[in-house]
């Protein structure tokens, strides 16, 4: 299985970026926590990137990391 990943803020242009996923390019971006079957527990690091361990796992499985577009937000 392969899909797409992107680091997006769930609060518009502000806030911490978290990993968002979609299994097909025409689907909406959803936070990685919406995919419990794909999610890996976050590293226990204060202020660490939310979803980084999941990102590493999915990159090894062939998922594509899409660059975060400037001024992009979740609708």
Q: Mean pLDDT across the stretch 18-30?
A: 93
Supply the pTM of this predicted model: 0.83
Range of the domain at 60: 1-16+33-68
- Percent of the chain having pLDDT more than 70? 84
- pLDDT tens per residue across span 40-75: 999 998 888 899 999 999 999 999 999 986 435 444
Distance (Å, rounded) from C-alpha 41 to C-alpha 73? 25
Q: Is residue 62 part of a domain?
A: yes
Distance (Å, rounded) from C-alpha 21 to C-alpha 32? 6
Whether residue 7 contacts residue 15, with contact meaning beta carbons closer than 8 Å, is answered with: no
Give me the pLDDT at residue 69, please: 66
Q: Is residue 25 part of a domain?
A: no
Whether residue 6 contacts residue 15, with contact meaning beta carbons closer than 8 Å, is answered with: no
**Mean pLDDT rounded to a whole number for the chain:** 86
Structural domains of the chain, count = 1
User: What sections of the chain are H helices per DSSP?
Assistant: 52-60
């Amino acid at each position: 299985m392969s899909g797409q990943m992107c680091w997006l803020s769930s609060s518009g242009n502000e806030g911490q970026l978290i990993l968002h996923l979609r299994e097909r390019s025409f689907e909406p971006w959803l936070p990685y926590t919406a995919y419990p079957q794909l999610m890996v527990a976050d590293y226990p690091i204060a202020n660490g990137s939310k979803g980084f361990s999941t990102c590493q796992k999915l990159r090894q499985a062939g998922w594509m990391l899409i660059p975060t577009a400037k001024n992009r937000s979740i609708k």
